[in-house]
């Protein structure tokens, strides 16, 4: 994802949620400081080019759909989806997280050499400061939703789940399959519901950019406000 293409969408997200760009930039800079000059993980080592990549969300349907993740070439898990897939015997190849839940899983994955895409944004600087120093940095892909500033990168996306999809697209995935995605989960609070609405819009944008149709959006497209570009 080219930042010039992403930036108008990012600006719309900031406006929709009332977030400040400066907070994201401070978080990005703090993550860069914590990573320092360490050699971080090059995600191209995941060999995603031409692969079928399962994008695992942490919705209620995840365990029932775990066999579909297991059949994929690679599994990218959003946050706690990594724990839940591991619990049913499905290994993940990358975790995408902003460290808001189970940071011990992120630490264990990094120590095992499994890459973790660690995201910094305006609301999670304390978590970044608390947990990043405990990670094996050679397994960390540091990410931002603001303008990238190496070593911190931006592949596009907003929530852990859709960031995983944008990462898979960046790596050249031939097919994206979605498991554990429940846009209408009644258990989520209003802010999370709005984030899911944006995740839906972002996936719709991504599928159009790829010339593809994601099955997870079937029956929903007519009600999705499209993102232009």
- For 73-85, what is each residue's pLDDT tens digit? 999 999 999 999 9
- For 164-222, what is each residue's pLDDT tens digit? 999 999 999 999 999 999 999 999 999 999 999 999 999 999 999 999 999 999 999 99
- Burial profile 170-187: b = 16 or more Cβ within 10 angstroms, e = fewer: bbebeebbbbbbbbeeee
Strand partners, 94: 76
Q: In what order do the strands lie in the sheet with 116-120?
A: 140-144, 116-120, 94-97, 74-78, 52-56, 175-179
In this prediction, residue 225 carries a pLDDT of 96
Confirm whether pTM is higher than 0.85: yes
Rounded Cα–Cα distance for residues 76 and 87 (Å): 15
pLDDT of 48 over the 80 cut: yes
Closest CA to 162 of 222, 103, 117, 220: 117
Whether the Cβ atoms of residue 3 and residue 154 lie closer than 8 Å to each other: yes
């Amino acid at each position: 994802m080219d930042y010039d293409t992403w930036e108008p969408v990012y600006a719309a997200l900031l406006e929709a949620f009332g977030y400040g760009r400066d907070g994201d930039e401070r978080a990005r800079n703090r993550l860069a400081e914590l990573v320092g000059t360490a050699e971080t993980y090059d995600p191209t080592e995941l060999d995603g080019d031409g692969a079928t990549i399962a994008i695992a969300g942490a919705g209620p349907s995840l365990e029932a759909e775990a066999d579909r993740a297991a059949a994929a070439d690679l599994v990218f898990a959003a946050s706690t989806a990594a724990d839940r897939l591991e619990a049913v015997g499905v290994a993940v190849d990358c975790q995408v997280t902003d460290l808001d839940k189970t940071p011990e899983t992120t630490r264990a994955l990094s120590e095992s050499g499994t890459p973790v895409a660690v995201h910094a944004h305006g609301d999670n600087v304390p978590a970044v400061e608390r947990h990043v120093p405990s990670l094996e940095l050679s397994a960390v892909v540091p990410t931002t939703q603001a303008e990238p500033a190496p070593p911190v990168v931006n592949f596009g996306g907003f929530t852990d789940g859709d960031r995983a999809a944008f990462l898979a697209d960046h790596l050249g995935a031939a097919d994206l399959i979605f498991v554990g995605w429940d846009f209408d989960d009644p258990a989520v609070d209003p802010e999370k519901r709005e984030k899911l609405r944006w995740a839906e819009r972002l996936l719709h944008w991504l599928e159009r950019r790829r010339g593809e149709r994601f099955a997870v959006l079937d029956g929903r497209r007519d009600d999705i406000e499209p993102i232009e570009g």
